[in-house]
Amino acid sequence: MSKLFSPFRLAGQEFPNRIVAAPMCQYSADDGSANEWHLQNLMTLGMSGAGLVMVEATAVERIGRITHGCLGLYSDNNVAALDRVLKAARRVSPAGTKWGIQIAHSGRKGSEQRPWEGGAALKAGEDPWETISASALPFGDWHTPREATAGDLARIRDAFVAAAARAVALGFEVIELHCAHGYLLHEFLSPLSNQRTDDYGGSPENRMRFPMEVARAVREAVPDGLVFGARITGTDWHDEGIDLEEAAIFAAALKATGLDYICVSGGGVVPGLKIPVEAGYQVPYAAGIKERTGIATRAVGMIADPHQAEEIIASGQADMVALARGLIDNPRWPWHAAEALGAEMTVPPQYLRGHAPNWPGAKLARPGAGR
C-alpha cells in the first residue's frame, strides 16, 4: 500500500493522504480580499486530490502584505470575500479534503511590486508604505524598515490573534504561522536581520521571544480539534544565520506550546545567496527537525516525482509533502501519482473520460504514457 496515499491524523483531523497543496501567493487580491482569480485557483486546487489545501500567505494587517495584491484577513470585507471562495472550493473538493490558511506579516519584505511588475520595492508613484522589521536593516536595495517598537509588537501580536480567530470562524481546519522566507517572524529569529539590543535580540532565546509570544497567543485562539502549525526555516543558507540545530530549538519550543506540525523550508532572509537547489533539497531539514523534536513535519522544495514523494513518507523523513510549483504546473498531479504508485484515488465522475485508462484505444494514451 502506498504510504503517500495513506491517511494521516493530527489534532482530531484526518487527512485522506499526505499530499499538501502548498500556500502559493497569487498577488491578485483587492485590498486583501479574494476575488474571481482566487475562486478559480482554489477550486482547481480543491479538485486536485491533495489531502490538505493551504491558502496562500495571508496578511494579518494591511502593512503586512508583500504587495498590493496580497490576500489579507484584517477586515470584514476580507472575511466575506474569502468565505464565498472557500465555500465554492469545498463544494468541488473530494470528500475528506481539509483546508488550511497561512497567516503572515511581510515585515521588511513588504511594499513590493508584484513579481511580473519587476518584484522590486514600490516606487514613489506606486503607493508604497512604511515597512517595519526587527531592526532597521533593508533587504538588499528595498525600503529601509523602521525598527518595531513595543507598541508595534503588541499590535502585530493582536493582529495575528484576530486573523486566526477569523480563520477559525471561516471553518479552516488548519491554521499555520509563517515564520520563514525572510518575513517578519523570521526577521526576528535570524541574526542576519535582527540586531536588536533589547530583550528581543541577541541570543537565540531572545530572538525567539516575539515569534513565541505570537505562537502562544494564536494557540489560545485555535480551538482543540483544529490543527495549528508553523512554517519555519531549517537553514538560512548562510554561515552566520540559523542552522538546523538552532531551528530545532525553535521547533521544540513551538511544540511545547501545543503546535501540531512544522513545515520546514529555508532561505529568504538575505538576498543573493547561491542555494544548491535540486530535487528534494530541503527534505533533510524536515527529517532533522522530526528526528530532534519528534514533531510531525511537512517537507517542501522541488518535490516533483511521485516515487520521490513516496520515499520521503515511507522512510519517515517527513509525515507530509507539499507541492507548490508542481501543482501550478499540473493540478492533476495527485491523480497521476496515484496511478504511478498503484494507489486508489477518487476522480470526479465529470472528469473520468479524461482519465488516461479510459481513453478509447491503446494508441490514444496520454502523450508519453508507457515510455
Active site (catalytic) residues: 183
In this structure, what DSSP letter does residue 340 have? H
Pairing, β 52-59 against β 146-147 = unpaired
Report the alpha-carbon distance of residue 34 to residue 26 in Å, rounded: 10
CA 328 to mean position of chain CA atoms: 15
Identify whether the C-beta of residue 185 lies closer than 8 Å to the C-beta of residue 105. yes
CA distances from 294 to 225, 262, 286, 297 (A): 20, 10, 11, 9
Q: Which residues contact 146 (CB under 8 A, 6 or more apart)?
A: 130, 131, 132, 133, 136
Residue whose entry in the numeric block shows the C-alpha cell 519528534: 294
Question: Exposed/middle/buried for 223, CB within 10 Å: 0-12, 13-18, 19+?
Answer: exposed
181 in the Ramachandran plot: left (φ > 0), alpha (ψ -120 to 50) or beta? left
Question: Exposed/middle/buried for 295, CB within 10 Å: 0-12, 13-18, 19+?
Answer: buried
Task: Say how many C-beta atoms besides its own lie within 10 A of residue 242's C-beta.
Answer: 26
Residue type, 275: I
CA distances from 304 to 105, 209, 355 (A): 29, 36, 20
In this structure, what DSSP letter does residue 203 have? S
What nine digits make up the cell of 248? 530545532
CA 72 to mean position of chain CA atoms: 14
With H, G, I as helix, E, B as strand and everything else as coil, classify residue 207: helix
What nine digits make up the cell of 242? 540559523
CA 141 to mean position of chain CA atoms: 26
